[in-house]
Amino acid sequence: MDIKDSGLARIISLVNQAGGVGKTTLTSNLGFHLAERGARVLLVDMDPQASLTRQLGHNPRTVEKAVAHTLLQDEPIPVLSDWHQVDLVPSNNNSAMLESALAQTADKEVLLKQGLQTIRNQYDFILIDCPPSLGLSSIMSLVASTHVLIPIKASDKGLEGADNLGDTLRRITTKANKCLRIAGAVPMMFDKRKVIHRTSNEHIKRTFGKFVVHPPIPESTDFEKSWRARTPLAKLFPNHPAVQSLQAIAAHLETH
């Protein structure tokens, strides 16, 4: 059965082992735009740095229940519901212990999938903000997902590590999650005035040519302003050039 017709959420991991590519910014803003289009949206913070949790207005030091409680103690998925019609499964300090705590656990790769299955029918989209690594947290996220979306920094180093990510995705789709689909790549922090960014964008298109390369997200200090305000970019700057790109990506995810 097609996911669109199954009544179950599409679960999309946003993954890139490089840090500083804008995964969290993309996760939160896409979640907002999907909710604006009428979708029921859940965001999952799998990064022990808890940037997504902070961006949605929560202090990870005072969050009582987080995704780690589900993965380590088999507790129900904890959901917070007070950010622009978007729900959140937060991260907290316990998330930093996940990989070592689960090292000897059998079938640990499916723990997040099992947890999300209990609430998957309550949402249309579940977006997972993965950590900047290809460790256990990212593997659990990919195993739990129906799709993967790859944010890539539009710079000369943006595609470094793409081979490692490709190898990981091939390994996942060969064995652990044969149904995982590529939802495309998103060039991030793009400055059309810079030759290297235009060149990198073309390189991204060539590299991911058989998949979708979504409209680039422009580089802007306004994202930092929206982060500090704990507010989606579109709420502070509705005419910002990035808003159109984010709306287009959300529309594509909704229809494909």
**In the chain, where the domains are located:** 3-255
Question: Residue 10 corresponds to which tokens in the numbers above?
Answer: 């599409």
CA distance 46 to 89: 9
CATH T-level fold of 3-255: Rossmann fold (3.40.50)
Structure pTM? Answer: 0.93
pLDDT tens-digit readout, 225-238: 999 999 999 999 99
Q: How many residues does the chain have?
A: 256
- The 8-class DSSP code of residue 80 comes to E
pLDDT per position as a tens digit, 89-144: 999 877 778 888 888 888 999 999 999 999 999 999 999 999 998 899 999 999 99
Tell me if residue 30 falls in helix, strand or coil: helix
Q: Which tokens in the block code for residue 249?
A: 């990506």
For the chain, the C-alpha Rg in angstroms (whole number) is 17
Q: Residue 31 in contact with residue 126, Cβ under 8 Å? A: no
Separation between Cα atoms, residue 108 and residue 104, nearest integer Å: 8
